[in-house]
Chain A
Amino acid sequence: MGDGGVSRAGEGPELVVVLDGGTELSREELGGKAWSINRMRALGLPVPPAIVATTVNCRTFREAGGRIPDDLWQAITARMSALEQGTGRRFGSPDRPLLVSVRSGAARSMPGMMDTVLDLGINAEIEAGLAAETGDPAYAADTRRRFVEAYRDVVLGTTGGDVPAAPWDQLRGAVEAVFASWDSPRARAYRRSRGVSDDGGTAVTIQAMVFGNLGDRSGTGVVFSRDPRTGENRPFGEWLPGGQGEDVVSGRLDPQPLESLREQLPAVYAELTAVASRIERDAGDIQDIEFTVEGGRLWLLQSRTAKRSPRAAVRAAVAMVDEGILDPGSALRRVTAEQARALLAPSLDRSRLTGVDPVATGHPVCEGVATGTVVVDPDEAERRAEAGEDVVLARATTSPDDMHGLVAARAVITEHGGSTSHAAVVSRELGRVCVVGCGSGTVTALAGNRVTVDGASGEIWPGAAALIRVSKTTTRI
């Protein structure tokens, strides 16, 4: 496919590049998203075909007064054939239509730019063609509705604007919006705050959409290269037969465990798990991969570093050293101080609380467990804490004048307010166990009592509750 070469033989820099794994342009020239698509293609991974208008075009766009120069537009229209050949679909055609996503992408990810328009290239006629092909008119109509909303929202910036009917006009509008968003106030403020130059520019990536709702052998899902809850080295994820990418996130349909993909499409499952390990090895970290299967063919949509539990972080880091993926130094950096602290922090021994009711319950806003005597006055809290006593400060609500009491207390409990309240913000800054919003008259009535505050569950227990402490010896988990 595509030669990844120059768009105009022998003249000037490449304006539009096919991302087939062959280009050697830098991240600065391709932008981060296109660079990673190209990288995945170079690894031989099945990624939907894509092209990119490089960052250099952002400057010529600006110099041309905010319009796409003719030679750039010609290069884009010519290179779209790479997407058509890669998918066997045609952009602008009602018969097997090609829809595309259009995304920004600077060398470094940056908030404030136009992000993504999906499903671009659809109008009434193409919607009818898609309905006939999928046998699902509701899906086709929903796709068009979602596109129109997104185009109005991110390209036109109004809820009632006119969306062009011609697919090529849609494409031109979206590309212009991406380039223009480089100069949005938010993007500029971000660059100013990070000391990033305004010269770099964004690239525009245009990628073929793939369809997870085309018949029985199609669907969409998410796979983690290791179990993000436990760190166990086995693929973990969800599979949604007949679903489109957004359905997994939206919860519109109930996903099945990944094992059902193994039963339904064993070859796809084998390819998917092999690909997940491959990307993990290349990235040196647990991956969270979105994929779509269209007519029995696997496509990877996105791969990123996976969020994980503290336990999984430690277990995976140790295992990756044993497997030769990481050296011990890199593995250590994979476990954050927060994760280590969470694993070692004492937690409530719930087996000892059966038959006991909490004396108050509120919103948990800062984790940890602390026991102390309830004091309602900040001055008294400070005095008793200085005398060596563990105190829990209870207030109807906190004011800036209570700060010394918050500093002195082991835990803070309030009757009003939610997880964004001033008391919550202050407690998190101080690392104080904190439960807020327990209700009028609840916690101040506890004055003088000894209580245990669980900042993870939001429960306040009578007396000094038993704790489980993790041994800090070298037991392997």
Chain B
Amino acid sequence: MSSSLGVQEGASTARLDQLVDRGLCKRGGTGLRLTSEGRAHLSVLLAREAAAVDRQAATALYDRFCELNQDLKQVITDWQLRDGHAPNDHSDPAYDAAVLARLTAAYERAGSLLAELGTLRPRLQHYSSRLALAHARVLEGDHSFVATIGKDSFHTLWFELHEDLIGLTGASRVDEAIAGRAT
């Protein structure tokens, strides 16, 4: 988590301990999660942030994200499935390599968007470096960084970025889903 957030190891542990002490987070299973109080507090913080942010700039960034999103989700799906339904058993290196080349192309197209996230909200800057790291891991051959749940995989980060951008535009995920954009 420290490396994801770009802070010192000790600093993140201390900060998390505070959150647990305040009852906003709890430890359980393999990690840490928000309590219902924590979730309520977070939604207040996010609502305040969304109210303060340059709404037009956020919407413009989100529109660009949506254009890239269609393509990226298709790439991830093609990584998981062949011909749209059979699970990809990863026995065909040429197929996998073609999908990963498309992932690289999609990542490169997202370059300018990722670079501008920090100008919208500094706290979004980390997505750029974490996605770069996930992409580098994939290129090195660690394919768990494409979409595995529970680690900083390409899809995990992209999904979280999507959620953050929806929040900053003031839209709701369900409304966006009905518009065909947030799924």
Contacts and interface: CB of A to CB of B under 8 A. Distances in A.
A99 B159 CA distance: 50
Contact of A397 (B76, B104, B182): B182
B129 interface: no
Interface in B129-183: 138-141, 147-150, 155-156, 159-160, 162-163, 173-174, 177-178, 180, 182-183
Nearest to B33: A404
A234 interface: no
B177 A111 contact: no
Given A111-B97, A190-B97, A397-B183, A422 B162 contact: yes
Contacts of A417: 177, 183
B177 to A, nearest CB: 4
A354 interface: no
Interface residues of A, number: 43
Given A336-B91, A430-B149, A419 B84 contact: yes
A195 B43 CA distance: 46
B158 to A, nearest CB: 9
A19 B178 CA distance: 58
B89 to A, nearest CB: 5
B101 interface: yes
A403 B97 contact: no
B77 to A, nearest CB: 4
Contacts of A192: 139
A189 interface: yes
Contact of B73 (A111, A399, A420): A420
B71 to A, nearest CB: 10
A336 B73 CA distance: 26
B163 A399 contact: yes
B178 A420 contact: no
Interface in A308-346: 336-338
A388 interface: no
Contact of A193 (B81, B141, B162, B182): B141
A436 interface: yes
Contacts of B93: 194
A425 interface: yes
A396 interface: yes
A420 B74 contact: yes
Contacts of B59: none
A275 B177 CA distance: 53
Given A404-B33, A420-B74, A397 B141 contact: no
Contacts of A189: 101, 104, 139
A193 B100 contact: yes
Given A189-B104, A397-B177, A422-B73, A336 B89 contact: yes
B183 A436 contact: yes
A422 B101 contact: no
Interface in B64-97: 70, 73-74, 76-77, 80-81, 84, 86-87, 89, 91, 93-94, 97
A207 B66 CA distance: 44
Given A399-B173, A400-B163, A429-B80, A418 B148 contact: no
B29 to A, nearest CB: 8
Contacts of B100: 190, 193
B51 interface: no
Q: Which of A195, A379, A400, A414 has the most CB of B within 10 A?
A: A400
A467 B162 CA distance: 39
A428 B81 contact: yes
A396 B177 contact: yes
A449 interface: no
Nearest to A194: B97
Contacts of A85: none
A425 B163 contact: no
25 contacts: A109-B94, A111-B98, A111-B101, A186-B101, A190-B97, A190-B101, A193-B100, A193-B104, A396-B177, A397-B174, A397-B183, A400-B156, A401-B34, A420-B73, A420-B77, A422-B162, A423-B183, A425-B80, A425-B159, A428-B81, A429-B80, A429-B147, A429-B148, A429-B149, A437-B183
Interchain residue pairs A-B with the least CB separation, the first 5: A417-B183, A421-B183, A416-B177, A397-B177, A111-B98
Given A399-B163, A424-B77, A428-B87, 12 more contacts: A110-B97, A194-B93, A194-B97, A195-B141, A400-B156, A400-B160, A416-B183, A422-B155, A426-B155, A429-B155, A430-B149, A437-B183
Interface of A: 109-112, 186, 189-190, 192-195, 336-338, 367, 379, 396-397, 399-401, 403-404, 407, 414-426, 428-430, 436-437, 440
